[in-house]
Amino acid sequence: MILVDLLTIIFLFSLFAVSHTWLASIKLKENLTARIGNKIAFYRLFYNISSIVIFSAFYALAPKPDAVVYDLRFPFDMITFALQVLSLAGFIWASQSISFREFSGIAQIERYMHGEYIIEELDEKQELKLDGAFKYSRHPIYFFSILFLGLRPTMNLFYLTFFLCAVVYFYAGTFYEEKKLVRMFGDRYADYQKSVPRMVPFIGKLNFFKRSSR
């Protein structure tokens, strides 16, 4: 029974991951743009809302085996909790370079309403971020999200399965995102890839910024 529950969780999460990735694909956005023109400005808000709805459906339908995998005792529970708080602070730090209005889709709609939307942007104005947390990891938001989700004083079987699925999805998503970024920013992003670790900071030589400063 537990095995069936775990496979069901993985299957439902996979459905969410596939739908989420498909809705984010450039090809889909370009096809929509060819049909609806600059009304693609509304797509980002639609994408966010649909992602919440689909994920909520996944969570509601997924079985939730509550078998305890581990339950840390004092002082290890407090140490783990403190590390989780630090990872949340890291997530906030990494997110500072992200425009909430652009991420949510509000800024796109405002530009559309003022007749200032650039259709080539598709659903989002992309900017190459190389400062702050992005100096140490190409995907610091994913990195700190994984730490925050994983650092739990108590872990049950449902959450562990969900967490492992999320880690795989985050890591796989970096390849998909970087393919788009190389297409948009060319050699500049390719050089950045060679110099800054994909996920975990301080793995590899961080010499990109040394070369840039010469």
Alpha carbon distance 147, 57 (integer Å): 25
Per-residue pLDDT tens digits for 84-93: 999 999 999 9
Residue 155 predicted with pLDDT over 90: yes
End-to-end CA distance of the chain: 61
Q: Which letter does DSSP use for residue 147 in this model?
A: H
User: Domain map of the chain by residue range?
Assistant: 2-212
Residue 35 predicted with pLDDT over 60: yes
Alpha carbon distance 35, 167 (integer Å): 35
Within 10 Å of residue 186's Cβ, how many Cβ atoms? 10
pTM for the whole structure:
0.86
Within 10 Å of residue 47's Cβ, how many Cβ atoms? 17
Q: Phi, psi at residue 117, to the nearest 5°?
A: -80, 135
Q: Phi, psi at residue 110, to the nearest 5°?
A: -60, -45
**pLDDT, average across residues 174-200:** 90
For residue 49, the one-letter residue type is I
Alpha carbon distance 183, 198 (integer Å): 17
Per-residue pLDDT tens digits for 65-84: 989 999 999 999 999 999 99
Residue 205 predicted with pLDDT over 70: no
For 42-87, the three-class secondary structure string (H helix, E strand, C coil) is HHHHHHHHHHHHHHHHHHHHCCCCCCEEEECCCCHHHHHHHHHHHH
Alpha carbon distance 130, 97 (integer Å): 10
For residue 144, give the nearest of 205, 71, 74, 94 by alpha carbon: 94
Residue 207 predicted with pLDDT over 80: no
Q: Token pair of 32, please?
A: 């929509």
